Chains A and B, each alone.
Chain A
Amino acid sequence: MTDSKYFTTTKKGEIFELKAELNSDKKEKKKEAVKKVIASMTVGKDVSALFPDVVNCMQTDNLELKKLVYLYLMNYAKSQPDMAIMAVNTFVKDCEDPNPLIRALAVRTMGCIRVDKITEYLCEPLRKCLKDEDPYVRKTAAVCVAKLHDINAQLVEDQGFLDTLKDLISDSNPMVVANAVAALSEIAESHPNSNLLDLNPQTINKLLTALNECTEWGQIFILDCLANYTPRDDRESQSICERVTPRLSHANSAVVLSAVKVLMKFMEMLPKDLDYYGTLLKKLAPPLVTLLSAEPELQYVALRNINLIVQKRPEILKHEMKVFFVKYNDPIYVKLEKLDIMIRLASQANIAQVLAELKEYATEVDVDFVRKAVRAIGRCAIKVEQSAERCVSTLLDLIQTKVNYVVQEAIVVIKDIFRKYPNKYESVIATLCENLDSLDEPEARAAMIWIVGEYAERIDNADELLESFLEGFHDESTQVQLQLLTAIVKLFLKKPTETQELVQQVLSLATQDSDNPDLRDRGYIYWRLLSTDPVAAKEVVLAEKPLISEETDLIEPTLLDELICHIGTLASVYHKPPSAFVEGGRGVQHKRLPARAGSGESAESPDVGQAVSAVSDAPPAVIPSQGDLLGDLLNLDLAPPTSNVPPVPSSMQMGAMDLLGGGLDSLMGDESETSASHYRTEVQSPQPPECSERELGGDVGGSPAMGVSLGGAPVGMPAGLGAAPAVGGGLGDLFDLGGGVGVTAGSYIPPKTVWLPAMKAKGLEISGTFARRSGVIHMDLSFTNKAMSVMTDFAIQFNKNSFGLAPAGPLQVLTPLSPNQTVDVSLPLSTTGPVMKMEPLNNLQVAVKNNIDVFYFSCQYPISLLFVEDGKMDRQVFLATWKDIPSENEAQFQIKDCHLNSDAASNKLQGSNIFTVAKRTVDTQDMLYQSVKLTNGIWMLAELRIQTGNPNSTDLEVGVIFLSGLNSNLPSSRRRTSWHALLSAPHHLSLTTQSVF
């Protein structure tokens, strides 16, 4: 008997025929008909019209038929809620059936019927099944609680199912325990603070016992749950590890990976001098290697995880290089991952083998793989100094093959090698130059141009080479344009006599004919530099560049720690935190590695030193990826931006900042056009300066980005500003132009939190918060010296971030900072730094330097920090824009328990630069229409609905609408949190920490 015939009934009138068959008296015919219905359902046909007829077949003693009907029900109940009620009786009855298989089937199916009206009928049967005598029914009921919770969380809590579920952790049957753990873990994810799982040594013991007895899947649930536990001390941690290690020999790779996760996490707590610690490290390597003999898909998952493990604890696999050699028949995704790990494991000891392999790979067929192999050779050169020479000669061999993409890739990495070992391998430049014409990818072109510019004095025809690129200047990508500009300026500074014409050409191309603000700004800076002080220009442009350091492409340490807690899961495959790809609040709390017990504070203790050295030895992201080769222009080192800023009292400095950053562009807006042309005539020949300081300031004002990057030198106070009435005192007023309503409440400032614990930073503890004060963003920092020695020479720098936040001045720390002293510093920030989208959006990576070391940490700033003071939109404009916004840019959410009436809310929000444009009252609802502008010019419009009837427990409904640009990248949870944080603070500070929505 074959069932495939059911797939082939596609004639007309089918539904009608099926209806007749379903109502047939003959059992066989009925069953046939139901099968046909399921087959149609599978291929995507809508057979919901048959709902009553199919449900009629439910009352049967034929188990197979029953299962088919249930399958149908699960699919269509939601679309036919009223009729689904018809099924309730059967479920209730089936839950009483003497056959445990039928009881379980009923309870399993019940939970899949997502109809509100039905769920309450199901509580009683479920309660019975949770206490059923048969373990098969109990294990099914345990999962059903999770299903019900997904439909109606409140109901599950009210009915006390959570407690019953907790009791099941002590069940005598291991599979019931495993399913209860799985269900509780899932429910706990949506209640981050509920302590639902209540892991304590007793329950842990129960779980560990069940671990030995349950199915492979159950073991995974239990291990994943164990990984969320934080042992009280190193002894408990060790005893759990001891009981988990046998799982490393399980045939199921997922069991092995979950066990590795538990061990990697708990290992953090073990003192490094413990014998057991060493044993554990040794035990981890073989199972990881074994994973590589699994099926390719699993190998891929394993390799992605090994990549993390190797970064966290390189010692585990350092001797296992060979197993990562690529096999000819590996699928491409396995090949690429293996290559990545090979480079991470490369060391002086094995570099010869690695290089031989890489050379082999560079001749393969797959273009991506070959490219990566070539790049890997470059990374080896940078990582293992002794091998640099061999790497370079290998690369030259590859260039000789003339395979286009190989050549381009090789040139990109040779540029990095030059950065690492300056003045060592210049002999190869001639060979590189031969291939100039074949370069068609921007990155390779940019790299080549960089090389020509950097070594212009040794290349006889450097000017010709660069000139040849200049012809198609406007067709080049930005990366190449910027590089070309810099290279020609370098060339000019090195050989001023013969290249004057060239430099003028490029400056005018960059400043006059380009629409790209970055290019224009850089052009102007060079132009200004060259024309005012060529000596200074030389010092700046030809300054010695810091060497790039060895380890590259490392995952940022805090993210790495989080990912280690997610070993085996999708997060570890994507190398992204769950919040980056999981919708809603479920399962996105950040996980952290536990802190090591015992030897805590002292920075010299070897274990902490290890953790820190992983960071400090290898500053992340050192090989600049595309586009920021140019990072070397001014600011790659960690020294305070420029030293020509006189140490003004901070308030005064702030004021100056404001003017240049925000106010000036409006004041100077009209002038910028003319000043630009003024420029042109003036700098036609880059001769010693003719323009006065005064004009300089004015020009700078024309482009706000430059204003700040030049350090906001007060000398530049332009003439134009004198006309503004409010220079002296209330600078703040300048920004409150539009706002008719006075500011009644300040913006919300979160309390200071510890960003960098002393343990991680050799005794330096940094805590801080962000605030917006009179239009300037401030980073308020507290430095505490918890070490024994004095700290001096503080400096700060930010990584590129989503909104271009950057320090607007040097970090002014009262130095020296003696032991146990705390100093508070307020650092004004500008938003004109380099921009790169971060994950999460408001993440900020910070490097702080002192006389001891460089430390890295990351923190998150409230989005409200970026709301600017001129965010009030005109009524008419508001109305017009509101209509034009596409619906996908819309988000809605509710804020519960907010004890504010509309006026108070409006005032409070205004404090944070959320402006009420209009107000309307309909029935018992107040509607506020509001506008917000971000520092990067994005507008957000919002409609706030407030119930006026009951002021004590007012629910706010907010509809937010975003305009243009970045908005779609803004995760919805983030938007909500920021709104919520603004509204509920300070009354509900606790709520701001959790994403309630």
Chain B
Amino acid sequence: MIGGLFIYNHKGEVLISRVYRDDIGRNAVDAFRVNVIHARQQVRSPVTNIARTSFFHVKRSNIWLAAVTKQNVNAAMVFEFLYKMCDVMTAYFGKISEENIKNNFVLIYELLDEILDFGYPQNSETGALKTFITQQGIKSQHHTKEEQSQITSQVTGQIGWRREGIKYRRNELFLDVLESVNLLMSPQGQVLSAHVSGRVVMKSYLSGMPECKFGMNDKIVIDKQGKGGTTDEAGKSELGGSSGKQSIAIDDCTFHQCVRLSKFDSERSISFIPPDGEYELMRYRTTKDIILPFRVIPLVREVGRTKLEVKVVIKSNFKPSLLAQKIEVRIPTPLNTSGVQVICMKGKAKYKASENAIVWKIKRMAGMKESQISAEIELLPTNDKKKWARPPISMNFEVPFAPSGLKVRYLKVFEPKLNYSDHDVIKWVRYIGRSGIYETRC
């Protein structure tokens, strides 16, 4: 299990050090600093073994978080825990920075005492933690006996992510379908790989302990219902229009721990009692029938040894009524570039010497349109034998639909104990498609 946890600033000074196991000595703190933070060569693995001690590290801005152990621990768990710890800290005091950590070191120690016991991670849901670890230590004394046992039963209970007795005057929920579409395309326009990784983020402001059921146009469910024919939910999409594709094939999905996995496994229905506030309900991945919002067509010509001609065309490929935003095309230039001249039809383009790239920005672009940029790149003659590696042209954008074709069909809320029904809940759905790693080789 985890033997100790250290947090360092970028200089390698210790900000937090908590040792859980006797086999981890004080020298471990220095070993990590010397061998990883101050290492002459950048460390090439997130797991480092120094003198039979294993160090796991993650970096958040310029803060290093390291977990130390001498045993054969579950490595995936250690990283998951480190991420979780970052989440918890962010939820308590915002950005993870040296200043924030120093300002909250007492709180961090208190948290570390709670969420890690003898190196075993314990309940680390911020919703639960915030009920009894507060920045005003005194407050916890004023809990009544009932409150105390409520806290403990929540922390250890089956629904550790939600506390009882939440009340809202207006029951409201927001669903965001956030997708990032990833593409790797050959210069000839062949799709080498493409996938969408999506997330359904929910903000719930619901009273009591509501039982929720979420439905989307999952191919397996739709097909099943098609066969059955008489189910009450079929065809009735409450939220979101039923335009475009009927159903999508989901390669794989994972759920927040509130979702009953065994029920999903047997019936493929997504039912849960949601945490209060914002959380990520599910993640999914699709690879079939992806709508690629943009196509990039590069043309690079080398004119002699000191000149390069680049022409890039982008085509938008979605309904003309929709608008893509924040479009940015990044065309890499060789290291020995001395000057660049650009002409573009739309938007603004600039050569950024420090980034070795031409950055072309377009604020908005409607569907089924096309735009073009051409550039002449002057090169300094070099005697470097190695050819320029030609990194791929990458693209960023945001579109108001889900490139995977996912549609939310319903989200039903039941709270039998309180007197509000599914119809009283105000529901909002939003689709945002963003570029992930969207690259075209040239």
- The chain A residues found within 8 Å of chain B, CB to CB, are 2-4, 6-7, 35, 38-39, 42-44, 61-65, 67-68, 70-71, 75, 98-101, 104, 108, 111-112, 114, 134-137, 139-140, 143-144, 146-147, 150, 173-176, 179, 182, 186, 212-217, 220-221, 224, 243, 245-247, 249-254, 256-258, 286-287, 289-290, 293, 295-298, 300-302, 322-323, 325, 327-329, 332-333, 336, 353, 356-357, 360, 363-365, 368, 401-403, 566, 568-574, 578, 581-583, 586-588
Contact B389 A573 (CB under 8 A): no
**Chain B residues with CB under 8 A of A247:** 261
Other-chain contact of B120, A143, A253, A323 (Cβ < 8 Å): A143
**Chain A residues with CB under 8 A of B74:** 220, 224, 254, 257-258, 568-569
Contact A293:B197 (CB < 8 A) given known A134-B152, A250-B257, A250-B261:
yes
Other-chain contact of B285, A108, A146, A289, A566 (Cβ < 8 Å): A289
Contact A581:B52 (CB < 8 A) given known A64-B110, A100-B149:
yes
Contact B110 A246 (CB under 8 A): no
**Chain A residues with CB under 8 A of B437:** 327-329
Contact B109 A38 (CB under 8 A): yes
B255 at the interface (CB under 8 A from A): yes
How many Å from the CB of A440 to the closest CB on chain B? Answer: 16
Whole-angstrom CA separation of A402 from B384 in the bound complex: 11
B228 at the interface (CB under 8 A from A): no
Contact B46 A297 (CB under 8 A): yes
**CB-based closest 8 A-B pairs:** A64-B137, A286-B252, A136-B152, A4-B102, A254-B76, A246-B265, A254-B77, A246-B261
**Chain B residues with CB under 8 A of A245:** 265
Contact B386 A401 (CB under 8 A): yes
Whole-angstrom CA separation of A301 from B152 in the bound complex: 34
In the complex, what residue of chain B is closest to A43 when comparing beta carbons? B14
Q: B1-41: contact bitstring with A at CB < 8 Å (1 yes, 0 no)?
A: 10000000000011111011111001001000000000000
Contact A301 B265 (CB under 8 A): no
Q: Within residues 77 to 111 of chain B, which ones have a CB less than 8 A from any CB in chain A?
A: 77, 79-83, 99, 102-106, 109-110
Q: B145-168: contact bitstring with A at CB < 8 Å (1 yes, 0 no)?
A: 100110111011110100000000
Q: Can you give 13 contacting A-B residue pairs, CB < 8 Å?
A: A68-B106, A68-B109, A215-B122, A215-B124, A217-B121, A220-B74, A254-B77, A286-B251, A289-B251, A289-B285, A329-B437, A363-B389, A568-B75
**Chain B residues with CB under 8 A of A256:** 76, 254
In the complex, what residue of chain A is closest to B389 when comparing beta carbons? A363
**Chain A residues with CB under 8 A of B261:** 212, 246-247, 249-250
Starting from the known contacts A42-B105, A217-B81, A297-B46, 14 additional A-B residue pairs (CB-CB under 8 Å) come to A3-B103, A4-B103, A38-B109, A112-B118, A135-B156, A150-B22, A212-B262, A220-B74, A246-B262, A249-B265, A250-B257, A258-B74, A289-B252, A574-B49
Contact A569:B121 (CB < 8 A) given known A322-B193, A363-B387, A581-B52:
no
Main secondary structure of the interface of B (DSSP, over half): mixed
In the complex, what residue of chain B is closest to A151 when comparing beta carbons? B22
In the complex, what residue of chain A is closest to B332 when comparing beta carbons? A328
**Chain A residues with CB under 8 A of B192:** 322, 325, 353, 357
Contact A2:B103 (CB < 8 A) given known A301-B79, A363-B390:
yes
Contact B158 A572 (CB under 8 A): no
Whole-angstrom CA separation of A70 from B109 in the bound complex: 11
Contact A300:B46 (CB < 8 A) given known A67-B109, A143-B118, A287-B252:
yes
Whole-angstrom CA separation of A58 from B280 in the bound complex: 41
Whole-angstrom CA separation of A356 from B441 in the bound complex: 12
Other-chain contact of B155, A4, A136, A289 (Cβ < 8 Å): A136
B345 at the interface (CB under 8 A from A): no
B243 at the interface (CB under 8 A from A): no
B140 at the interface (CB under 8 A from A): yes
Whole-angstrom CA separation of A61 from B137 in the bound complex: 10
B230 at the interface (CB under 8 A from A): no
How many Å from the CB of A32 to the closest CB on chain B? Answer: 11
Contact B47 A401 (CB under 8 A): no
**Chain B residues with CB under 8 A of A289:** 251-252, 285
Contact B113 A173 (CB under 8 A): no
**Chain A residues with CB under 8 A of B189:** none
B256 at the interface (CB under 8 A from A): yes
Contact B105 A44 (CB under 8 A): no
Whole-angstrom CA separation of A147 from B387 in the bound complex: 60
B71 at the interface (CB under 8 A from A): yes
**Chain A residues with CB under 8 A of B392:** 328
**Chain A residues with CB under 8 A of B394:** 328
**Chain B residues with CB under 8 A of A213:** 158
- The chain B residues found within 8 Å of chain A, CB to CB, are 1, 13-17, 19-23, 26, 29, 44-47, 49, 52, 54, 56-58, 69-77, 79-83, 99, 102-106, 109-110, 113, 117-118, 120-125, 132, 137-138, 140-141, 143, 145, 148-149, 151-153, 155-158, 160, 184, 186, 192-193, 195, 197, 251-257, 260-262, 264-265, 280, 282-283, 285, 385-387, 389-392, 394, 437, 439, 441
**Chain B residues with CB under 8 A of A568:** 74-77
Contact B152 A571 (CB under 8 A): no
**Chain B residues with CB under 8 A of A4:** 99, 102-103, 105
Contact B265 A257 (CB under 8 A): no
Contact B389 A364 (CB under 8 A): yes
Contact B254 A136 (CB under 8 A): no
Other-chain contact of B76, A43, A301, A332 (Cβ < 8 Å): A301
**Chain B residues with CB under 8 A of A147:** 118
Whole-angstrom CA separation of A301 from B73 in the bound complex: 12
Other-chain contact of A298, B80, B157, B439 (Cβ < 8 Å): B80
In the complex, what residue of chain B is closest to A189 when comparing beta carbons? B71
Whole-angstrom CA separation of A571 from B47 in the bound complex: 12
Other-chain contact of A572, B75, B120, B138, B151 (Cβ < 8 Å): B75
**Chain B residues with CB under 8 A of A42:** 14-17, 105
In the complex, what residue of chain A is closest to B123 when comparing beta carbons? A215
In the complex, what residue of chain A is closest to B437 when comparing beta carbons? A327
Whole-angstrom CA separation of A143 from B114 in the bound complex: 13
A-B pair number, CB within 8 angstroms: 293
Contact A249:B253 (CB < 8 A) given known A179-B120, A328-B437:
yes
Whole-angstrom CA separation of A925 from B12 in the bound complex: 52
Whole-angstrom CA separation of A246 from B156 in the bound complex: 22
Whole-angstrom CA separation of A472 from B183 in the bound complex: 52
**Chain B residues with CB under 8 A of A323:** 193, 195
Contact A251 B257 (CB under 8 A): yes
Whole-angstrom CA separation of A186 from B77 in the bound complex: 16
Contact B156 A175 (CB under 8 A): yes
Contact A581 B76 (CB under 8 A): no
Contact B54 A581 (CB under 8 A): yes
How many Å from the CB of A556 to the closest CB on chain B? Answer: 19
Other-chain contact of A3, B104, B132, B148, B195 (Cβ < 8 Å): B104
Contact A100 B15 (CB under 8 A): no
How many Å from the CB of B381 to the closest CB on chain A? Answer: 18
In the complex, what residue of chain A is closest to B152 when comparing beta carbons? A136
In the complex, what residue of chain A is closest to B99 when comparing beta carbons? A4
Contact B72 A566 (CB under 8 A): yes
Whole-angstrom CA separation of A765 from B358 in the bound complex: 68
How many Å from the CB of B84 to the closest CB on chain A? Answer: 9
Contact A582 B72 (CB under 8 A): yes
Whole-angstrom CA separation of A68 from B112 in the bound complex: 12
Whole-angstrom CA separation of A606 from B189 in the bound complex: 44
Contact A249 B156 (CB under 8 A): no
Contact B56 A174 (CB under 8 A): no
How many Å from the CB of A574 to the closest CB on chain B? Answer: 7
How many Å from the CB of B272 to the closest CB on chain A? Answer: 12
Whole-angstrom CA separation of A328 from B56 in the bound complex: 24
In the complex, what residue of chain A is closest to B1 when comparing beta carbons? A186
Contact B72 A571 (CB under 8 A): yes
Other-chain contact of B109, A71, A99, A251 (Cβ < 8 Å): A71
Other-chain contact of A328, B283, B386, B439 (Cβ < 8 Å): B439
**Chain B residues with CB under 8 A of A3:** 102-106
In the complex, what residue of chain A is closest to B155 when comparing beta carbons? A136
Contact A578 B72 (CB under 8 A): yes
How many Å from the CB of B21 to the closest CB on chain A? Answer: 8
In the complex, what residue of chain B is closest to A220 when comparing beta carbons? B77
